[in-house]
Structure 1
Amino acid sequence: MPTLDLTSSADIVAGGDAVLAFTDLHVTFGTEFGDVHAVKGVTLEVHPGEVVALVGESGSGKSVTSTTALGLLPGNARVSGSVRVGDKIVGDLDPAALRKMRGNDIAMVFQEPMTALNPVLTIGDQLTEALQLHGLAYGSQAMARAAELLEMVGIPEPRRRLKQYPHELSGGQRQRVVIAMAISCDPRVIIADEPTTALDVTVQADILDLLRSLKDKLDTGILLITHNMGVVADMADRVAVMLKGDLVETGTAEQVLTNPQHEYTRRLLGAVPHLGEGSGQSDEGVRASVEKEKVDAAVPALELDNLVIEYHRLGKPPFRAVDDVSFTVGPGEIVGLVGESGSGKSTIGKCALGLIPAVSGAVRILGEDYGRLRRKQLKDLRRRIGVVFQDPAASINPRFPVGEAIAEPLAVHQVGDAASRKQRVMDLLDAVELPRSFYNRYPHELSGGQRQRVSIARALTLEPELLVADEPTSALDVSVQAAVLEMFLSLQSEFGFACLFVSHDLAVIDLLAHKVVVLQNGRIVEQGDRDTVLRTPREDYTKRLLAAAPVPDPIEQKLRREDRHRLLAELGDEIVELRVDPTSDPEPPAGRKTPGAEGGNPLGGAFHGG
């Protein structure tokens, strides 16, 4: 498949030869079912001080391509073509030379910091390990350097953090530690593999600010692997689009994102929800209409009144996860519940399902007070509630075929006979746009998007009046997410169920919700109609959330980033960036130690002391 290359020679970032170059790269995996050609002739370069975004959906070959640069492919991989890191050809290196190259010349920031960090070692031990292995610093000198690295990436009280374990840090702090480890040996190039996928939108914005300052101040080349087009618009100088192992389009970020030439790129961008465009961005404009008078007169589907939820811990005072929360979900209404991790969103959803008890306050579902119902009454009420969880692979029994998984609620509530249940499942497979042949398939035989459609079908089996959806699309590719959301809107219009939709993706909430409730630390900071909350927010916290959400347009995103920095300055918040010593050269050549570096300091005098 030919590559559409929109980049002129003037667009290539100046600063010398490429620090990372793939030339006609092919990667084939030998499996028991035959060979899988994962990467097909990819040619791509990353230059000093440049961010190249490698985008595409799951299975397109992005991570396999990047992994070849580190020499980390499994034994069943066959590689042809050339991969060059600096002046080294990766395929020509023996294991000892590969270990020396990793860290010194190239480093990686992984998607999930909790799997990249060793849970049984302190942060200090993990930061000093690379320094010691590469012979750059030892003992107290290495520990001082580790503290300096934490300070550089904006972690407060660095010396205290060195003694902590990964689980004692927040997600954003863990990702900053991983970035500190990546830059500890001053690599020429950093591969960032989905570095913000698991992070809240505000933490994501901070990490992107940090990566941007890293490439600006150290002249480091960055290969950014992501499927988030907002992140691409915020970070990338150039973009390369992959489809089934082929590189189908390359160009500057502005060229590719605002004027895509390849059909796949256009389809990918068309699937991305855009914050600020509301329900109009839905392709078919499918939306359940809510008549205000009817909603006001009818019994709410869900009503929370001064809800308080606490978690009790052995030997410690209880932790209050939800504090005095009150809102309603009207019939046929979608209410978006947003906030950062730990704000109490999922806890409220579980309480609404009767999975977590409330300490005080009331939860009324369809006019029934949850706390006053007996077991038989609770079972009858739960029949009127559906639930869609974030991870369908974990919420569907892997031993049940799809047909049995969807029919399970009918069996539990003893609805119908075998023939009527099978017919109901077939109708639901039609409704969620899955082939009826999937009835006898098992979950592992389905893709992530197909499994999530099965989860939605199961949630609708008993025709619920209230649906609780907890981050149902966050684990999906953008085109799969778009298809699932379009189907969700169509089903909501057809079945008329009310929905509490929990999400941290404000663009998805903008697409779906009639009303929005914003949570912070277990409390509601703002709630109201979608347009009111998302267009004219009153509270500083809501403004921070909205300002941090990226959009897939590089020109618009640059203005949004500048507006966010102004907002943070007005609110007295710190803008996260790499902290360098202003008395020294702020941009040492990539991959070269600063002149005068002494005492095992791999980045020389360009940085603060610890």
Structure 2
Amino acid sequence: MNSNPSPGTGHERRGDAALGFTDLDVRFTTEFGGVHAVKGLTLEVARGEVVALVGESGSGKSVTSTAAMGLLPENASVTGEARVGGVNVVGLDSEKVRRMRATKIAMIFQEPMTALNPVLTIERQMTEALELHDIAYGQDATARAVELLQLVGIPDPERRIKQYPHQFSGGQRQRIVIAIAISCDPEVIIADEPTTALDVTVQADILDLLRRLKDDLDVGILLITHNMGVVADLADRVAVMFRGQLVETGSVDAVLNRPEHPYTRKLLESVPKLSQVDLREAYTDAPEDPFRELVLEAKDLVLEYEMRGKRFRAVEDVSFSVGRQEILGVVGESGSGKSTVAKAVLGLLPIASGTLAVRGRDLAQLRPREAKEVRRKIGVVFQDPAASLNPRFPIGDCIVEPMVIHKVGDRKSRMERAQELLDAVRLPRDVVNRYPHELSGGQRQRVSIARALTLQPELLIADEPTSALDVSVQAAVLEMIKELQAQYEFACLFVSHDLAVVDMLADHVVVMKDGHAVERGSTNYVLHHPQNDYTRRLLAAAPVPEPAEQRERREARRELLAQG
């Protein structure tokens, strides 16, 4: 029975566990009353083992890991045990807990730029930890830091250690964070969403690195994630949390393939799955309908940025089209140019050459007033709803902001429109008087979608609209986008690095690499019978939430990479 979350489930209690929780209970005292965040959790992580702790926001995952690090705030009341290398850190003197960090337990955070100090060199940040814990000093510390950078795959570490965080890519920064985490030989590493901010190919590389380090260093890893593909790829065991309780534990195969708790089943049903990909067979795409009603069309599009007096070409000779009631998925790694295309459509970037036309009107040839009128028919949903909604505006004013900008309607008609759209995105009408911080992430994204639809757009630009959301919330938002498209009949340019989401939602796909469109066509053609080597590598890197299939995909990816 993998649904019994008792201490012995799937893994017998052992004295040599790298990390162990017994009846851990965490409550917070707030001005609005008490919050019972973790309710009697019992779990162990052995050395050389990866245990994935999964669940939605608010389930208690991060509070559990923070308790192990001894970093809970003063308003937390903690009972039970959180043992690191056999030492219970609950109630332990803060100085003793501080000395255990890095030497016994280390953490890899979700966003490497918040974990690294932007004004210090990588050398200073890495040697600081070694000196602080009396492991090495001076040249010895630098030599150890260079060795660690080499271990995590940073090229030319002797030179690059003198550089600053902004001079590295996102994947390289995460490797540096991992190097710092293992610098003092900890017994356990807590990896809190370590790949969420990364592209699929970079994510696959980081997961390979963590797998190798786990085996080579015999370190235990507590992996906190909402990505079930990552769980299938890396974890040995899975523990599922729901509202502060551990509701199911077991081997990765048992939990992902034979879930017993209703919440686990619901979580897995919400995960978008990339269906079977044929990486070998030649395939001919079906021709596009010549009578499609085009809403957006790009021909030989070139986009450039001005940087320090020099021009940087971000997109070159890209062509695509989106018809009414169609969704075009634009995929590719960071820096491929996919978000740059979306910015150009929104008028945030000038068009260097080529054509970018909305309903046949070329945006590059329009006067500012004409362009504004065309863009009135374009709605936009950004990645982070918290950053795109004005925190000082009540929700009703956030939704009708486009009507105010374009001088449409009066106060009464605008509020009626806001309430109508709240119905469409399935939020209660009384939300109009609440503020963004009072809503959950999923609710805020629904508000963003409602705002995008305020002026009945013919084209919706969605730039990574679900990447910051939990899987079940993501599934609900994606389903809602499909329903709203059927109702409002808009065309949609959907920018994403999640291939499974694009597979589920898009009619056609454009694959971007280094500013070029390397492959385009129907979703079935591009994502299931890819002809381009880069598309194949991209698809092979996307993890799937089934352990045996994921092992096969990992091997297929290694073969592709070996072929160059």
TM-score, structure 1 length as denominator? 0.88
What value does the CA root-mean-square deviation take over the aligned residues? 2.0
Q: Give the match for residue 156 of structure 2.
A: 157
Structure scoring higher RCO (CA < 8 A, sep ≥ 6) equals 1
Alignment of 1:14-33 (within 5 A): 17-33=16-32
Counterpart code for 1:163: K
Q: Give the match for residue 502 of structure 1.
A: 495
The answer to whether the aligner puts 1:75 opposite 2:74 as a matched pair is yes
Counterpart code for 2:217: L
- 8 Å CA contact 2:130, 2:183 repeated in 1: yes
Distance 1:12 1:154 in 2: 33
Q: Give the match for residue 467 of structure 1.
A: 460
- 8 Å CA contact 2:2, 2:9 repeated in 1: no
Distance 2:9 2:55 in 1: 26
The answer to whether the aligner puts 1:560 opposite 2:559 as a matched pair is no
The alpha carbon displacement at 1:332 in A equals 1.6
Counterpart code for 1:449: G
Q: Which runs of 5+ in 1 are unaligned?
A: 279-290, 572-610
Counterpart code for 2:290: D
Q: Give the match for residue 421 of structure 2.
A: 428
Alignment of 1:410-425 (within 5 A): 410-425=403-418
Distance 2:321 2:520 in 1: 11
The answer to whether the aligner puts 1:569 opposite 2:562 as a matched pair is yes
- 8 Å CA contact 2:5, 2:247 repeated in 1: no
Q: Give the match for residue 218 of structure 1.
A: 217
Alignment of 1:147-186 (within 5 A): 147-186=146-185
The answer to whether the aligner puts 1:305 opposite 2:304 as a matched pair is no
Counterpart code for 2:510: V
Count of residues in correspondence between the two structures = 556
- 8 Å CA contact 1:14, 1:47 repeated in 2: no
Equivalent residue for 2:392, pick from 399, 412, 425: 399
Q: Give the match for residue 228 of structure 2.
A: 229
Alignment of 1:99-110 (within 5 A): 99-110=98-109
**Residues 548-603 of structure 1 deviation map (CA, whole Å, 9 limit, x = unaligned):** 001111111111111111211122xxxxxxxxxxxxxxxxxxxxxxxxxxxxxxxx
- 8 Å CA contact 2:519, 2:526 repeated in 1: yes
Q: Give the match for residue 456 of structure 1.
A: 449
Distance 1:28 1:539 in 2: 53
Alignment of 1:257-268 (within 5 A): 257-268=256-267
Distance 2:12 2:32 in 1: 43
- 8 Å CA contact 2:396, 2:431 repeated in 1: yes
Q: Give the match for residue 598 of structure 1.
A: none
- Given the superposition, is the C-alpha separation of residues 277 and 445 from structure 1 closer, same or farther in structure 2, using an over 3 Å criterion? farther
**Residues 305-339 of structure 1 deviation map (CA, whole Å, 9 limit, x = unaligned):** 11111111225x32111111111112221000000
- Given the superposition, is the C-alpha separation of residues 558 and 3 from structure 1 closer, same or farther in structure 2, using an over 3 Å criterion? closer
Q: Which runs of 5+ in 2 are unaligned?
A: 278-285
The alpha carbon displacement at 1:292 in A equals 8.3
Alignment of 1:179-218 (within 5 A): 179-218=178-217
- Given the superposition, is the C-alpha separation of residues 469 and 376 from structure 1 closer, same or farther in structure 2, using an over 3 Å criterion? same
The alpha carbon displacement at 1:7 in A equals 9.0
Alignment of 1:127-138 (within 5 A): 127-138=126-137
User: Counterpart of 1:399 in 2: which secondary structure?
Assistant: coil
The alpha carbon displacement at 1:409 in A equals 1.9
- 8 Å CA contact 1:548, 1:564 repeated in 2: yes
Distance 1:467 1:329 in 2: 11
Distance 2:12 2:141 in 1: 34
- Given the superposition, is the C-alpha separation of residues 99 and 417 from structure 1 closer, same or farther in structure 2, using an over 3 Å criterion? closer
- Given the superposition, is the C-alpha separation of residues 93 and 420 from structure 1 closer, same or farther in structure 2, using an over 3 Å criterion? closer
Distance 2:78 2:333 in 1: 42
- Which 10-residue stretch deviates more, 325-334 or 37-46? 325-334
The alpha carbon displacement at 1:415 in A equals 2.7
The answer to whether the aligner puts 1:550 opposite 2:516 as a matched pair is no
Q: Give the match for residue 247 of structure 2.
A: 248
User: Counterpart of 2:563 in 1: which secondary structure?
Assistant: helix
- 8 Å CA contact 1:13, 1:49 repeated in 2: no
Alignment of 1:519-538 (within 5 A): 519-538=512-531
**Residues 381-438 of structure 1 deviation map (CA, whole Å, 9 limit, x = unaligned):** 1121111111111111122211122122223323333333222222211111111111
User: Counterpart of 1:97 in 2: which secondary structure?
Assistant: helix
Q: Give the match for residue 375 of structure 1.
A: 368
Counterpart code for 2:227: N
The alpha carbon displacement at 1:358 in A equals 1.1
**Residues 255-289 of structure 1 deviation map (CA, whole Å, 9 limit, x = unaligned):** 111111111111100100000179xxxxxxxxxxx
- Given the superposition, is the C-alpha separation of residues 14 and 160 from structure 1 closer, same or farther in structure 2, using an over 3 Å criterion? farther
- 8 Å CA contact 2:188, 2:222 repeated in 1: yes
- 8 Å CA contact 1:299, 1:367 repeated in 2: no
The alpha carbon displacement at 1:351 in A equals 0.3
Distance 2:428 2:10 in 1: 47
Distance 1:268 1:11 in 2: 20
- 8 Å CA contact 2:324, 2:490 repeated in 1: yes
- 8 Å CA contact 1:510, 1:534 repeated in 2: yes
Following TM superposition, the consecutive aligned residue runs of length 4 or more in structure 1 with deviations greater than 6 angstroms are 6-10, 13-16
Equivalent residue for 2:480, pick from 454, 463, 487: 487
User: Counterpart of 1:423 in 2: which secondary structure?
Assistant: helix
User: Counterpart of 1:104 in 2: which secondary structure?
Assistant: coil
- 8 Å CA contact 2:9, 2:249 repeated in 1: no
The alpha carbon displacement at 1:237 in A equals 0.7
Q: Give the match for residue 587 of structure 1.
A: none
- 8 Å CA contact 2:2, 2:250 repeated in 1: no
Distance 2:510 2:331 in 1: 6
Paired-residue identity, % = 66
Counterpart code for 2:521: G
Distance 2:353 2:499 in 1: 30
Q: Give the match for residue 146 of structure 1.
A: 145
- 8 Å CA contact 1:13, 1:48 repeated in 2: no
